[in-house]
Structure 1
Amino acid sequence: MNKILIVGGGYAGLYTARGLERQLGDSEAEIIIVDPLPYMTYLPFLPEVAAGSIEPRHVVVPLRRHLSRTRIIQAKVTGIEHASKVATIQPEVGEAFTLDYDVLVMTAGSVSRTFPIPGVADEAIGMKTIEEAAAVRDRLIANFAKAAALPEGPERDRLLTVTVVGGGFAGIETVAELRDFATHLLSRFREIRFEEVSFHLVEAMGRIMPEVSAETADWVVEDLRKRGVDVHLETQLQSAVDGVCELSTGDRFASDLIIWTAGVMANPVVRATDLPLDERGRVTALATLQVARDGVVVPDAWTAGDVSAVPDKSKTPGPGGFAVPNAQHAVREAKLLAKNIVAVLRGEAPREYIHDNQGAVAGLGLWNGVFQKGKFAIKGPIAWLMHRGYHGLAMPMWERKWRVFGDWWSQFWLGRDIAELSEREQPRLAFETYASRPKPKVEVEA
């Protein structure tokens, strides 16, 4: 029996494991996933979670529920020696241990890529995890409540200022969804005027959303500006110390909510392995998804998703000729990856990954979106419906699809849920505040 170790339970890891479960018999392989999280997150829905359109738990897929034959180890991989086929595993509780394997699948995904800008590490929050998206939603609502109780002034302005750094799809969808949500909140917080709420989008390049045409990108910029978003192009964030944003243009403003979406990088776990990496820290691979060193296959090692440098052989290849780090590539690579692993185990030849681009679609708030494929573009409500239709059906597992569609259906009739639960980050605070404690002992003199 082959022991297949999958490092990472995101898109690529989940779909690879499901494919292997379906194609390999019980006696053919033991499948193991190691990930510190017990679920996969559908990242394209994070902006809608932050905007209160989807319940946070509904955009994650519990691995133990949907992988019936795969062994789930909730822990970190701290090292891999593929030459001897041994991985070092560090659980959250207890001592580290080693795990032998026969086939390695590296699908550890990506993390937020930041730069050493003063204050960013201390003040900003990403939009890469479900926890971050839920926290952004709670922070925005809580800030409205705090500001509503304050007189006009610097502190009120700071609470009502949101800054998003990064003009890619994640940044654009985040700022558009939050702007739309903030406008909705004004109907519940009548003490706050539209003009008091400030949104800033900071992008270092001269345009946004490189996946769409310049004309479409310009339309999105104008749409955001009409809705009250200050779009700063060809501008860099130079400091965020104490929540005060200083831009390369000289602009300076205080912002209580700073969201970083300016790119991703391969999960640093790959640096603790003997696998070949490119200059960006990604595992180098062939189009067959086999790990390769200088074009030569590394036996029994496979990779897919954001952590890998997979050649893009489509008609419109990504930057540098590699597949870009997004969900569309990760899911499709993983489905082929499972088939290729089975093929090699059975003495057959693997197939190359050739991506058929289905276009790019983004949601820009309720009833507003944009879609582009080639030179064909759609803007407005129809594109928004296409966005929800595509991603709703792309959400893994039917029970999760139904939960997401149920959220949208409920919202259509009942409106957004604006209850914020930021106190859950300190769940014992109320209990500790009022809990009785033993009185200090009084020593009696003899």
Structure 2
Amino acid sequence: MPRRIVIAGGGYVGLYTALRLQKRLARGEAEVVVVNPENFMVYRPLLPEVASGTLEPRHAVVPLRAVLRRTRFVAGSLTSVDTERKVVSVEPTAGPPIDLEYDELVLGMGAMAKLAPVEGLAESGIGFNSLAEAAHLRDHVLRQLEIASATNDPELRRCALTFVFVGGGYTGVEAIAELQDMAHDVLAGYPRLEASEMRWVLVEALDRILTTVSEDLAERAATELTARGIDLRLGTQLESAEGGLLKLSDGSKFRASTLVWVAGTRPQTVVGKLGLATDERGRLVVDETLRLEGQDHIWAAGDCAAVPDLESGGVCPPTAQHAVRQATQLGDNLVATLRGERPQPFRYRSRGEFVTLGKNKAVGEAFGRKFDGVLAWTARRAYYASQIPTINRKIRVLGDWLVGMPFGHDVVDFGSREEPRGAFEEAAGKRGP
């Protein structure tokens, strides 16, 4: 009977580890099982463009069943690990729990939003870590424009046109830049609104944005954002969001209908409940070969693991570049282990960074050179087009980009899809119009 490799998580680590195993394992050498709640992997660098409507949401994901032809897929969530029996428990989408025996176990369950104890945040805010959140934000911003355009109440209008993002890392900067760019682009369709009425605020607790890139590159991005009217509140924290009234540590208070929380992430809650070694930030502790501390048959990588950075020291940053390379090395190490060979340490030095700031706008650094504007925007798209798995997805994404270049953003708000039974319930007399 072939040995079994169970991979928990269908993100970068899960997908690319499984792809590597498909490529390197001989048929029948081992069974690979991927466990994930959703049957797709989200290509996270494209989420800001999903939020701005530049990309169709389905084109920013990779269907796991379609690309992992030689892998068994289980739709569910890992809930516990018995290291003595080498068994994991999985809660499937429906039905009773499933027990899966494993010879080697990979934990790549990614991260979730890290919420601060801010009063009202859970009720008023939304994250930006999933496809659903990105698609929702696009509809939400367009809905606020509709509300502001229709109302004669100045306070409601001001509240609807105030958009606040907390967190000045990659996600926060790209999200606010793309959505502000979209909102300004569609404003011609709202003759009752003026661009000057919109208020976009980026709140960052540190004294600069984009702390994981060079200071010069971060300054270029900050200059671009402020030139477009985005209010950067550096060295500032959100203290309260109760009832939609935002209070900042700099003393300012104002109401906003949009509060996006992008101030850091943490490993999924289940990671801390598995009884495995974690660091002070809740990440699984692994050695340089990506094997879990004290466990010969458990491996981890990506955002849920503290992977040693042998090139720069410390721990590898939680970027897509590193996660993909970790997964490839992990796949090689699993093959080596199955064949009685020595696993190799993970080493990787970043090739560059790109930060999208809207249509034809970006900053970038690659091979020691820094650039911005259209050149950086084009280089970023070329890079991600080359990295997206499968020809199918590459063509779909490129098609969206090419079709969208000569045209503006669409103003259609599909917010009603969040209540798909609304019309049916109204027809049945279960709810009002």
Q: Tell me the TM-score normalised to structure 2 length.
A: 0.96
Partner of residue 328, structure 2: 335
Contact 2:167 2:264 in 1 (8 A): yes
Mapped to 2, the partners of 1:415 and 1:380 lie a distance apart of: 18
State percent identity of aligned pairs.
39
Corresponding letter in the other structure for 1:307: C
Deviation at 1:129, TM superposition (A): 0.1
The amino acid that maps onto 1:160 is: L
The answer to whether 1:200 aligns with 2:201 is: yes
Change (3 A) 1:220 1:436: closer
Please show how residues 111-260 of structure 1 align to structure 2 within 5 Å: 111-151=112-152, 153-260=154-261
Alignment partners' CA distance in 2, 1:190 and 1:105: 54
Provide, for residues 16-39 of structure 1, a one-character-per-residue CA deviation record: whole Å limited to 9, x for no partner: 111111211232111111111111
Corresponding residue pairs, total: 429
Structure-2 separation of matches of 1:365 and 1:152 = 31
1:436 Cα deviation after fit: 6.4
In the alignment, residue 100 of structure 1 is paired with which amino acid?
E
**Who is 1:423 aligned against?**
416
> What displacement does 1:373 show?
4.4
Which residue pairs with 2:345 in the alignment? 352
Deviations 1:280-326 (A, max 9, x none): 11111111111123xxxx21111111111110012x34xxx011111
Alpha-carbon contact 1:49-1:56 (below 8 Å) kept: yes
CA distance in 1: counterparts of 2:298 and 2:253, whole angstroms: 49
**Structure 1: which amino acid aligns with 2:193?**
I
Superposed CA offset, 1:204-246 (max 9, x none): 0000101222233223222211111110000000011122111
User: Which position in structure 1 is the counterpart of 2:262?
Assistant: 261
- AA of the residue aligned to 2:159: R
Please list every run of 5 or more consecutive structure 1 residues that lacks an aligned counterpart in the other structure: 438-446
2:405 counterpart of 1:412: yes
Q: CA deviation at 1:432?
A: 1.1
Shift of 1:374: 7.5
SS at match of 1:187: helix
Residue 397 of structure 1 aligns to which amino acid in structure 2?
T
User: Partner amino acid for 1:139?
Assistant: H
* Counterpart-to-counterpart distance in 2, 1:261 and 1:81: 34
> What residue number does 1:442 align with?
none
Give the deviation of 1:414 after TM superposition: 3.3
Give the aligned partner of residue 21 of structure 2: 20
- RMSD across aligned positions (CA): 1.4
Cα deviation digits, residues 47-105 of structure 1 (max 9, x gap) = 11111111111101111111101111111111111232111111232222322111101
Q: Does 1:402 align with 2:392?
A: no
More divergent stretch after superposition (47-56 vs 428-437): 428-437
Q: Which residue of 1 aligns with 2:91?
A: 90
Shift in CA distance, 24/374, structure 1 to aligned 2, threshold 3 Å: closer
Change (3 A) 1:214 1:436: closer
Bigger Rg over Cα = 1
2-side partners of 1:27 and 1:376: how far apart?
Answer: 47
Determine if the alignment matches structure 1 residue 365 to structure 2 residue 358.
Answer: yes
Unaligned runs of 5+ in 2: none
Aligned residue number for residue 29 of structure 1? 30
Residue 416 (structure 1) shift? 2.1
User: C-alpha separation between the residues in 2 aligned to 1:371 and 1:355?
Assistant: 19
Spell out structure 1 runs of 4+ moving beyond 3 A.
Answer: 373-376
State how far apart, in whole Å, the 1-side matches of 2:140 and 2:214 are: 34
Check whether the contact 2:186–2:408 (CA below 8 A) recurs between aligned residues. no
